């Protein structure tokens, strides 16, 4: 049974990427999408793909937390990267009005520009959103109508999920769904998620699945099968079906061979 972790912060300083990838492959998670969140990470992500081409693909983009660092030259670089081997999406991009690490107007400007670049290059978008759902939808409708993409690390309610589904997006499910308290709304939403739109991811080193044993300090791609098995019980379908469906959906979204 093969798994594809569609979202891991592989460049996080808590990780030794080589060791994390090795443990991932041993656990049956043979493909990883390394998320980038700012221009300073782009070269390192490319280097990981070059080193582990069979296992690592990556995104190119700027997280809303880091929107304030993006320059015009960075947008030019971003476009240059998009033709490169292993690049599968624009992002992680979006809006985060929960922490406001970058001014909201700057977040919106940087997000819209990334959406426009994704449309220009016919690339999927890799979306982040916190406390900005209505504006996020408006940006998508105005700047990227019909674009493919994933609502990465979705934690919202059924109505929020349906809004993304109506725009043709995939839904990224993490270990949040396993959280006894915080995951209640997401568990209810997932029950009405069409399987052809389901993508499983870890967002490691964050969101350790709380039911997993033994416990660990950091989440890892190797724990993705635990999330899949939890979803298997929740949706009453086999873990193998979860793995195969999510793997195929991720490959289709990212336009890579499965």
128 has binding-site annotation: yes
Q: Which two tokens stand for residue 240?
A: 């193998």
Backbone angles phi, psi at 57, to 5 degrees: -115, 175
Q: Is 129 left (phi over 0), alpha (psi -120 to 50) or beta?
A: beta
Q: How far apart are CA 220 and CA 201, in angstroms?
A: 10
Give the whole-angstrom CA distance, residue 254 versus residue 257: 9
133 appears as a binding residue in the annotation: no
Residues in the chain: 258
Q: Which residues contact 89 (CB under 8 A, 6 or more apart)?
A: 33, 59, 60, 61, 118, 123, 124, 125, 126, 149, 150, 253, 254
Distance of alpha carbon 165 from alpha carbon 244, whole angstroms: 20
Task: Name the binding residues.
Answer: 92, 128, 152, 203
Binding residues for a divalent metal cation: 92, 128, 152, 203
């Amino acid at each position: 049974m093969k798994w594809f972790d569609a979202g891991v912060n592989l460049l996080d300083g808590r990780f030794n990427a080589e060791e994390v990838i090795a443990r991932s492959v041993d656990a049956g998670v043979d493909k990883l999408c390394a998320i980038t969140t700012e221009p300073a990470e782009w070269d390192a992500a490319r280097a990981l793909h070059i080193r582990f081409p069979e296992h690592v693909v990556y995104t190119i983009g700027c997280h809303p937390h880091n929107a304030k660092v993006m320059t015009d030259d960075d947008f030019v670089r971003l476009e240059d990267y998009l033709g490169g081997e292993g690049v599968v999406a624009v992002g992680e991009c979006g809006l985060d009005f929960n922490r406001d690490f970058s001014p909201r107007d700057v977040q919106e400007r940087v997000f819209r520009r990334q959406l426009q670049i994704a449309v220009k290059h016919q690339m999927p978008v890799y979306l982040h959103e916190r406390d900005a759902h209505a504006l996020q939808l408006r940006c998508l409708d105005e700047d990227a109508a019909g674009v493919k993409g994933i609502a990465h690390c979705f934690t919202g309610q059924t109505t929020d999920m349906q809004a993304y589904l109506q725009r043709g997006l995939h839904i990224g499910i993490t270990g949040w769904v396993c959280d006894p308290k915080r995951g209640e709304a997401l568990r209810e939403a997932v029950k009405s998620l069409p399987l052809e739109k389901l993508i499983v991811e870890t967002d490691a080193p964050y969101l350790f699945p709380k039911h997993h044993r033994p416990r660990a300090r950091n989440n890892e791609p190797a724990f993705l099968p635990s999330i899949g098995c939890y979803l298997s019980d929740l949706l009453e379908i086999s873990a193998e079906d979860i793995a195969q469906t999510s793997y195929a959906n991720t490959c289709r979204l990212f336009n890579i061979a499965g």
